[in-house]
Amino acid sequence: MKDNKIFELIEAEKQRQREGLELIPSENYVSREVLEAMGSVFTNKYSEGYPGFEDLDGSDDDVLASEPANHRYYGGQQNTDKIERLAIARARRLFHADHANVQPHSGAQANNAVYNAWLEPGDTVLGMNLGHGGHLTHGSPVTLSAKIYNFIAYGTNPETGDIDYDELERLAKEHKPKIILIGYSAFAKIPDFERVVKIGKEIPDCLLMADMAHVAGLIAGGAHPNPLDYGFHVMTTTTHKTLRGPRGGLILSRGKVSNPLKKPEHTLENIPTLIDRSVFPGTQGGPLMHIIAAKAVAFYEAEQVSFQNYARDLMDNAKTLADELISHGFKLIGGGTENHLMLVDMMASFGVDGKIMEEMMDKVGLTLNANAIPNDTLPPFKPSGIRLGTAAITTRGMKRQEMKKIANWMRRLAEICVEIEKNGKSEDAFKKELATMREEVREIAEIFPVPGI
């Protein structure tokens, strides 16, 4: 690369990723093949529109052998059509969906496209409170969608850490939302999809939407229930978290798929095509074909038995790490994890906030993020909690033994935070110990190489 500055920063980032342990639950390491597809010549191609929607059942070979109709606005699509159709067919198989739109540039774009497909301005959406683990795109007032639609928030029960389904049902009956949205960024339970479907079925024209951004890889690998199997109409996700693909979004749906060039009637049955039209031209321009190629590769990888093993190990590691942390005095919201996400109340555990713990962990190469806990009394930038997960370290091949090591390091780091923050000791007193711990983390990291680099 002639641009030395960028080259050096890429090399420095490779080193950072190699030498540290990634505990941020929304991050992962993609394979060499996914990286190569992302860096391919498909970035040169404009492909506004869609490849044909017919003949997407069956194997990859069946899909490649078919001759779909042309719904693109540019010529030269002989290869892009095949790439996108393979991505769609693989995603449909993985998630038992009637339709997949693989074009959303990100998880946020995917959610906004679903809102735009089904709602009129002012319509009501029932979504999870951001402060209780929901996502910004589920109704935070700082977002564009919150200016357009009327978001009502349900929360979690402080005793159980689970969704307060009674409250959700009461709010649904009262507000008659056009969408009930189940999904979260910091919530450790498996939702009761069956109960939500029962609640939603009572409300006319209510779209049931699940934002499974964090757990799509677990669903694909058979380690988490699939909301589409329970009667949800739509599932959105990112492709870069547990699903281990390129950064991007994906929308899966159940219903009738038809020609996206023709506006269908506004019915729940037609939701697949309403979504296609909402992604393009409704909310996006040209698809990122190099990213769609990489999504197709990631879906291929997720269809392999090895990915089921990955999902199983990911959960095994998460449960081990959660148990170890609890035994060291960390208080986990909900008492553990059912879906690999862990939310720790640092204030209740050690009397220090999450930001201090995040910064202390960074010093030794352990990366996670400070996070609000339900009903947090501290501000968002210095919240009470930390959030972590095992998606990335499991990709590196780490197992129970390494989880125990991580929990030990975290206990000692929490103690150091207490010594400095509460007992007024100087950070210098721990310089040597922190340097030794940094070396220990680096040694373990080197035993488990990062795939792809």
Ligand X SMILES: Cc1ncc(COP(=O)(O)O)c(C=O)c1O
Rounded to the nearest whole angstrom, what is the least distance from the CB of residue 134 to ligand X in the complex?
8
Based on the shown chain and the rule CB under 6 A, indicate whether residue 137 belongs to the binding site for ligand X. Answer: yes
H-run or E-run covering 282: none
46 is catalytic: yes
Helix (H, G, I), strand (E, B) or coil at 100: strand
Based on the shown chain and the rule CB under 6 A, indicate whether residue 369 belongs to the binding site for ligand X. Answer: no
65 to 62, 68, 290, 351: CA distances (angstroms): 5, 9, 22, 62
User: Pick from 49, 51, 107, 227: which binds ligand X (CB under 6 A)?
Assistant: 107
User: Pick from 51, 131, 139, 183: which binds ligand X (CB under 6 A)?
Assistant: 183
394 is catalytic: no
Cβ(27)–Cβ(391) below 8 Å: yes
Spatial distance between the Cα atoms of 240 and 28, rounded to a whole number of angstroms? 7
Looking at 80, 238, 367, 390, which residue is catalytic?
238
Enumerate residues 6+ apart whose C-beta is below 8 A from 148: 115, 119, 121, 122
Rounded to the nearest whole angstrom, what is the least distance from the CB of residue 429 to ligand X in the complex?
37
Q: Which two tokens stand for residue 329?
A: 């005095």
313 is catalytic: no
249 to 12, 100, 268, 414, 415: CA distances (angstroms): 28, 11, 22, 36, 39
Based on the shown chain and the rule CB under 6 A, indicate whether residue 22 belongs to the binding site for ligand X. Answer: no
Based on the shown chain and the rule CB under 6 A, indicate whether residue 185 belongs to the binding site for ligand X. Answer: yes
Spatial distance between the Cα atoms of 287 and 73, rounded to a whole number of angstroms? 12
Nearer of residues 113 and 417 to ligand X, judged by Cβ: 113
Rounded to the nearest whole angstrom, what is the least distance from the CB of residue 237 to ligand X in the complex?
8
H-run or E-run covering 313: helix 305-327
Based on the shown chain and the rule CB under 6 A, indicate whether residue 214 belongs to the binding site for ligand X. Answer: yes
Nearer of residues 177 and 389 to ligand X, judged by Cβ: 389
Based on the shown chain and the rule CB under 6 A, indicate whether residue 238 belongs to the binding site for ligand X. Answer: yes
Nearer of residues 128 and 315 to ligand X, judged by Cβ: 128
Looking at 18, 27, 33, 46, which residue is catalytic?
46
Rounded to the nearest whole angstrom, what is the least distance from the CB of residue 241 to ligand X in the complex?
7
Based on the shown chain and the rule CB under 6 A, indicate whether residue 283 belongs to the binding site for ligand X. Answer: no
Alpha carbon 368 to chain centroid distance? 15
Spatial distance between the Cα atoms of 61 and 84, rounded to a whole number of angstroms? 14
Based on the shown chain and the rule CB under 6 A, indicate whether residue 108 belongs to the binding site for ligand X. Answer: yes
DSSP 41: G
Rounded to the nearest whole angstrom, what is the least distance from the CB of residue 227 to ligand X in the complex?
13
Specify the residue for token string 């693909």.
245
User: Pick from 45, 85, 99, 135: which binds ligand X (CB under 6 A)?
Assistant: 135
Based on the shown chain and the rule CB under 6 A, indicate whether residue 128 belongs to the binding site for ligand X. Answer: no
Size, binding site for ligand X by CB under 6 A: 15
Ramachandran area for residue 96 (φ above 0: left; ψ -120 to 50: alpha; else beta)? left
Q: State the distance between the two ends of the chain, measured CA to CA, in whole angstroms.
A: 16
Identity of the residue numbered 421: E
247 is catalytic: yes
Looking at 241, 277, 387, 411, which residue is catalytic?
241
Rounded to the nearest whole angstrom, what is the least distance from the CB of residue 408 to ligand X in the complex?
29
User: Pick from 40, 106, 157, 259: which binds ligand X (CB under 6 A)?
Assistant: 106
Based on the shown chain and the rule CB under 6 A, indicate whether residue 337 belongs to the binding site for ligand X. Answer: no
Pairing of strands 21-22, 179-183: unpaired
Based on the shown chain and the rule CB under 6 A, indicate whether residue 260 belongs to the binding site for ligand X. Answer: no
User: Pick from 199, 213, 215, 271: which binds ligand X (CB under 6 A)?
Assistant: 213
Spatial distance between the Cα atoms of 281 and 159, rounded to a whole number of angstroms? 45
Beta bridge partners of 50: 71
Based on the shown chain and the rule CB under 6 A, indicate whether residue 367 belongs to the binding site for ligand X. Answer: no
Cβ(183)–Cβ(219) below 8 Å: no
Based on the shown chain and the rule CB under 6 A, indicate whether residue 388 belongs to the binding site for ligand X. Answer: no
Q: Which residues are catalytically annotated? A: 46, 48, 211, 238, 241, 247
Residues of this chain that bind ligand X (CB under 6 A): 26, 106-108, 111, 135, 137, 183-185, 211, 213-214, 238, 249
